[in-house]
């Protein structure tokens, strides 16, 4: 077998290689590169040693697509997602290397919007989410990237009504627009009054605040803002098809079911029309009938706003139903990336094959499941070379020495396995 | 006695534990109910019941794997706990290990109402109950039941004592049910751990040193320690990853063949149940709505709920469009009238048990979508719904005759959202500003045999309703 073309091979060790693969062609034409993750490494310093939770993760995300990250417990899919929003506490975590380049709404400085290699031909500047400051992150979080978590009952504050939750999301991300719409001269107000008005509007009411807001310069604005926020909240809830949104606004989280709360979470996440929606096991806690409707809703909203969705789940069947592309993670590294079609019908990595063979399907009824032997490795001391080598049915001698590079097997179907690297034909290594 | 001489002995004791005679029916329950009281008011008096399990009948043949599926809150776990006597049933009988002819006899007597039964039949039932009914049996029969029924819980991290070593956990049932000496018990534990694929190394570890899959293996080893006939598995793989789930499912299949076990397998994962079960019962709000063999159920579901459940599950390849159920599972404390599933059903007819609650929910769901509904909803002062009788009181601002037309379905505003509901309206009346609606009085469907010979609880399959 010939060596694969050099430009299609990407190494996991360098941060300098700019991808030239054909991955983008696999998704729809209108989608543009939204974010690229390169060589992401995340280590946790613990008493037992360094846990290498992520060790060289690379993938791309496009707007308007659903990219699913699948893998078993502890494979690092959730912390990859959380890294997008700087939600991993550092320390104990630290990023020894890696970048998460996300497209911003500013034009690219290097080319002025005409498209260059710096901005990946999108015309927008790319920013590294790992190196932005905390205050910059505040504007990215929620505004540009929104997140839906697994358990809405634990994510929402039990002591606040849904009105307060939504008002907070709306005012944090669209505060100025909403106030302007309500006829509040935001630009004329000074800093303190502006903050007071905001706080009043977000229903965060203390006796002092209520008193201040009932004094002349602010008095005339308060009801206008509240009406505008209410209007916008109803609009958002209406989009999520929540029954009786008017009554729901004054409900507390415990008064609603899990599926209804997840709709509220989606409404909040969409308040700012983010470019990227991260869904971390968003439907795992729900029943299948509810899950089906939430997924449908997410899909509808995604096509409306052309949002990119990073969908984290361990449910392989769900992914085959909803996602455009899928990345399979194993023990902190990416094993295989490709379109759902490619990965499910023609899996390349032995881990992907094992995973798919573990799923009970029509063919396995009453019989045995192939599954994968063994269990996931301890990440403080992962196996040398390929991390899957201890459980791999196709293991070769050099698997436990050399970490496999990612190779593109055509149409953006990438795999990190020695079965597909050129080392396979190298006599000295096999 | 040295350990090397022991194994044969131990296995003997192991087999001696199993029942002497193998009866066909491993478990039969009739009219099984489990209600939990809801208290309220100043004196915390009982005001209603949550009917977690409501009149469930089924029978499990020896060697079968009976699956139970349903959404959360449908009562499947409560049913499991009642069957293994962890909770006492409110009403109903559970017969364990019954010969086939006697099971039929029991069913025949129990199908009769109290008035129809003769005193001879009553006496016979009492006699059979003292022999087989798990809450009535005493002495040897009770011990036989306890030895032969075991349970595997969903979350192995919670079901293993964190302060006990694995061998202590696994030998606990042996301590209770056998006369084995310490050394013999240890030998048996070693044998059991090997059987579930763990090996002796695990004997002196604590649960926290094990992964989820390994813990579930320990739980299974504990369950098979006394060589039981029947194991209830309550979501045994839900907390596990898919590759580990595959290992555990394989293990369960192997053990079943080796030890001649019968399983009751509870899960919400239709892919898993299709893989393992021989028979599947589908539960909805405390009732079994369909009970059929696996192939029948998955190829041709009869109850609309089963159909929707299978269709919504990404685990099942449907090829075509998927059915989307509207609304959420209703509050089990306040279940819909008639068929509990009718408000969400995609095949509902006028005889499914519609009432005022459904009218109200049409108003609520469409309040932001339809302006005419919105005016109607905003002017609604008060509602009183009692079974198939409902009163809607409106403010003085509306023309009550027009509203009457809307609520009775003569006008199109509400009828366009649900035709069947308004076909079920039998009577409309106006009292002042109040519209009084009456609906067809429909009974909750019970399991009946459909044309294809399986049990289904749906009026669509009942010739009395058209």
Q: Quick one: pLDDT at residue A23?
A: 37
Between CA B382 and CA B367 the distance in angstroms is 16
| Cβ-defined contact of B308 to A289 (cutoff 8 Å) | yes
In CATH, what number does A1-144+274-430 get?
Answer: 3.40.50.300
Q: Quick one: pLDDT at residue A201?
A: 60
| Optimal mutation site among A288, A314, A328, A373, interface B, most CBs of chain B within 10 A | A288
| Cβ-defined contact of B242 to A72 (cutoff 8 Å) | yes
Alpha helices in A306-400 (DSSP H): 316-322, 340-345, 350-358
Between CA A193 and CA A189 the distance in angstroms is 6
> A376: helix, coil or strand?
coil
Q: Quick one: pLDDT at residue A16?
A: 30
Between CA B22 and CA B15 the distance in angstroms is 13
Strand partners, B262: B230
pLDDT band at A255 (very low <50, low <70, confident <90, very high): confident
| Cβ-defined contact of A360 to B274 (cutoff 8 Å) | yes
Between CA B220 and CA B213 the distance in angstroms is 11
Within 10 A of A82 (CB to CB), how many other CB atoms are there?
18
pLDDT band at B215 (very low <50, low <70, confident <90, very high): very high
Q: Concatenate the DSSP letters of all residues of A177-209 into one string.
A: HHHHHTT--TTTS-HHHHHHHHHHHTT---HHH
Q: Is residue B96 scored above 50 in pLDDT?
A: yes
- Give the tokens for residue B233: 């598995």
| Cβ-defined contact of B325 to A73 (cutoff 8 Å) | no
- Give the tokens for residue B84: 């293994």
For chain A, helix, strand, coil in percent to 5 are 35, 20, 40
pLDDT band at B279 (very low <50, low <70, confident <90, very high): very high
Q: Is residue B264 scored above 90 in pLDDT?
A: yes
Give helix then strand counts, H and E, for chain B.
18, 15
Q: Per residue in B133-164, pLDDT tens?
A: 988 888 888 999 998 999 998 888 888 999 99
A10 secondary structure, DSSP code: B
Strand partners, A329: A334
C-alpha distances out from residue A349 to A19, A174, A217, A356, A416, Å? 21, 45, 66, 11, 7
Give the residue range(s) of CATH 3.40.50.300 domains in chain A.
Answer: 1-144+274-430
Cα-Cα-Cα-Cα dihedral sign, residues A397, A399, A403, A405: positive
Q: Is residue B13 scored above 60 in pLDDT?
A: no
Q: What is the mean pLDDT of residues A48-76?
A: 88
pLDDT band at A2 (very low <50, low <70, confident <90, very high): very low
Cβ contacts of B212 on chain A, cutoff 8 Å:
73
pLDDT band at A28 (very low <50, low <70, confident <90, very high): very low
| Optimal mutation site among A70, A285, A287, interface B, most CBs of chain B within 10 A | A287
Q: Quick one: pLDDT at residue A202?
A: 57
Torsions phi, psi for B452 (to 5 deg): -80, 0
> Above pLDDT 90, what percent of chain A?
5
> A147: helix, coil or strand?
strand
> A141: helix, coil or strand?
strand
Dihedral (Cα; A337, A340, A341, A344), 10-degree rounding: 80
Q: Quick one: pLDDT at residue B319?
A: 67
Buried b (16+ CB within 10 A) or exposed e, A109-146: eeeeeeeeeebbebbbbbbebbebeeeebeebbbbbbb
C-alpha distances out from residue B171 to A340, B86, B147, B185, Å? 47, 21, 14, 6
Q: Does A246 touch chain B (CB under 8 A)?
A: yes
Q: Find, in chain B, the residue whose alpha carbon is nearest to that of A248.
A: B364
Nearest CB to B211 within list A257, A321, A375: A375
Q: What is the mean pLDDT of residues A284-310?
A: 83
Between CA A139 and CA A220 the distance in angstroms is 29
- Average pLDDT value over all residues in chain A: 79
Q: Is residue A428 scored above 80 in pLDDT?
A: no
Q: Does A244 touch chain B (CB under 8 A)?
A: yes
Least confident of A96-105, A188-197, A297-306, B132-141: A188-197
- Give the tokens for residue A115: 């498209």
Q: B251 to chain A nearest CA, in Å?
A: 9
Q: Quick one: pLDDT at residue A27?
A: 38
ipTM: 0.78
Q: Per residue in B16-69, pLDDT tens?
A: 434 445 678 999 998 899 999 888 888 888 888 888 898 898 889 998 999 999
For chain B, helix, strand, coil in percent to 5 are 40, 20, 35
Q: Per residue in B357-382, pLDDT tens?
A: 888 888 887 777 777 787 788 888 88
Q: Per residue in A159-183, pLDDT tens?
A: 888 888 888 888 777 777 777 777 7
Q: Find, in chain B, the residue whose alpha carbon is nearest to that of A244.
A: B364
Interface of B with A (CB under 8 A): 71-72, 211-214, 241-247, 249-250, 253, 268, 270-272, 274-276, 294, 308-309, 312-315, 317, 322, 324-325, 327-329, 361, 364-365, 367-369
| Cβ-defined contact of A293 to B324 (cutoff 8 Å) | yes
Q: Is residue A334 scored above 60 in pLDDT?
A: yes
């Amino acid at each position: 077998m010939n060596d694969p073309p050099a430009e299609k091979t990407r190494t996991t060790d360098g941060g300098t290689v700019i991808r030239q693969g054909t991955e983008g062609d696999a998704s729809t034409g209108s989608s543009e590169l939204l974010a690229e993750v390169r060589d992401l490494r995340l280590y946790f310093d613990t008493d037992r040693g360094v846990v290498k939770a992520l060790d060289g993760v690379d993938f791309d995300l496009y707007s308007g697509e659903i990219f699913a990250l699948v893998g078993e417990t502890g494979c690092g899919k959730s912390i990859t997602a959380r890294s997008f929003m700087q939600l991993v506490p550092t320390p104990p975590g630290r990023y020894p290397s890696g970048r998460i380049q996300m497209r911003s709404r500013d034009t690219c400085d290097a080319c002025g919007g005409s498209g260059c290699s710096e901005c990946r031909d999108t015309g927008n500047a790319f920013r590294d989410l790992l190196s932005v400051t905390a205050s910059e992150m505040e504007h990215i979080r929620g505004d540009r990237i929104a997140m839906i978590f697994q358990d809405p009952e634990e994510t929402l504050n039990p002591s606040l009504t849904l009105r307060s939750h939504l008002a907070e999301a709306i005012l944090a991300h669209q505060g100025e627009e909403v106030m302007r719409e309500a006829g509040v001269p935001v630009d004329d107000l000074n800093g303190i009054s502006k903050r007071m008005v905001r706080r009043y509007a977000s229903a965060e009411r203390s006796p002092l605040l209520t008193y201040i807001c009932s004094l002349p310069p602010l008095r005339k604005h308060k009801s206008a803002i509240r009406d505008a926020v209410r209007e916008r909240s109803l609009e958002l809830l209406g989009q999520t098809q929540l029954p009786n949104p008017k009554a729901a606004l004054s409900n507390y989280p415990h008064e609603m079911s899990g599926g209804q709360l997840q709709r509220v979470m989606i409404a909040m996440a969409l308040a700012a029309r983010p470019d990227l929606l991260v869904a971390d096991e968003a439907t795992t806690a729900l029943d299948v009938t509810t899950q089906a409707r939430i997924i449908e809703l997410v899909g509808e909203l995604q096509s409306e706003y052309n949002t990119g969705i990073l969908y984290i789940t361990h449910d392989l069947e769900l992914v085959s139903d909803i996602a455009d592309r899928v990345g399979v993670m194993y023990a902190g590294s990416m094993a295989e990336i490709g379109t759902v079609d490619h990965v499910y019908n023609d899996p390349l990595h032995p881990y992907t094959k094992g995973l798919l063979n573990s799923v009970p399907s029509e063919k396995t009824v009453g019989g045995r499941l192939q599954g994968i032997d063994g269990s996931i490795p301890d990440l403080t001391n992962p196996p040398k070379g390929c991390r899957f080598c201890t459980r791999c049915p196709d293991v070769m001698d050099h698997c436990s020495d050399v970490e496999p590079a990612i190779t593109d097997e055509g149409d953006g179907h990438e795999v990190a396995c020695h079965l597909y690297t050129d080392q396979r034909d190298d006599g000295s290594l096999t | 006695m040295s350990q090397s001489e022991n194994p044969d002995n131990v296995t003997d004791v192991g087999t001696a534990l199993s029942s002497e005679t193998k009866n066909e029916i491993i478990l039969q329950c009739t009219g099984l109910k489990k209600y939990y009281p809801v208290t309220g008011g100043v004196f915390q008096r009982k005001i209603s019941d949550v009917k977690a399990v409501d009149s469930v009948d089924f029978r499990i043949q020896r060697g079968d794997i009976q699956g139970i599926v349903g959404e959360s809150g449908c009562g499947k776990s409560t049913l499991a706990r009642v069957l293994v006597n962890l909770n006492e049933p409110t009403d109903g009988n559970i017969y364990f290990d019954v010969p086939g002819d006697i099971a039929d006899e029991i069913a025949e007597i129990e199908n009769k109402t109290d008035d129809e039964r003769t005193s001879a039949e009553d006496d016979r039932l009492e006699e059979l109950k003292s022999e087989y009914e798990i809450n009535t049996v005493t002495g040897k029969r009770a011990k036989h039941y306890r030895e032969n029924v075991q349970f595997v819980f969903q979350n192995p991290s919670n079901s293993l004592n964190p302060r006990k070593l694995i061998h202590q956990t696994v030998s606990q049932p042996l301590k209770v049910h056998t006369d084995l000496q310490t050394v013999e018990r240890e030998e048996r534990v070693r044998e059991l751990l090997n059987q579930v694929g763990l090996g002796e190394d695990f004997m002196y570890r604590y649960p926290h040193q094990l992964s989820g899959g390994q813990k579930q293996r320990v739980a299974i080893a504990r369950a098979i320690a006394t060589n039981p006939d029947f194991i209830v598995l309550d979501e045994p793989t839900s907390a596990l990853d898919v590759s580990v789930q595959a290992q555990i499912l394989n293990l369960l299949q192997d053990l079943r063949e080796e030890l001649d076990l019968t399983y009751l397998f509870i899960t919400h994962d239709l892919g898993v149940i299709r893989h393992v079960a021989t028979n599947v019962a589908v539960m909805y709000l405390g009732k079994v709505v369909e009970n059929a063999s696996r192939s029948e159920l998955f190829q041709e579901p009869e109850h609309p709920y089963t159909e929707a459940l299978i269709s919504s599950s990404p685990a099942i390849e449907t090829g075509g469009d998927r059915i989307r159920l509207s609304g959420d599972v209703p509050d089990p404390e306040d279940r819909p009238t008639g068929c509990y599933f009718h408000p969400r059903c995609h095949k509902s007819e006028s005889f499914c048990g519609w009432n005022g609650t459904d009218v109200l929910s049409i108003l609520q769901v469409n309040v932001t979508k339809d302006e005419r509904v919105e005016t109607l909803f905003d002017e609604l002062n008060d509602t009183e719904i009692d079974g198939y009788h409902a009163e809607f009181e409106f403010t003085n601002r509306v023309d009550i005759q027009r509203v009457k037309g809307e609520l009775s379905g003569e006008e199109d505003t509400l009828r366009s959202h649900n035709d069947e509901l308004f076909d079920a309206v039998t009577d409309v009346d106006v009292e002042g500003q109040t519209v009084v609606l009456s609906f067809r009085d429909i009974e909750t469907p019970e399991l009946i045999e459909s044309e294809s010979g399986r049990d289904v609880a749906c009026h669509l399959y009942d010739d009395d309703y058209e």
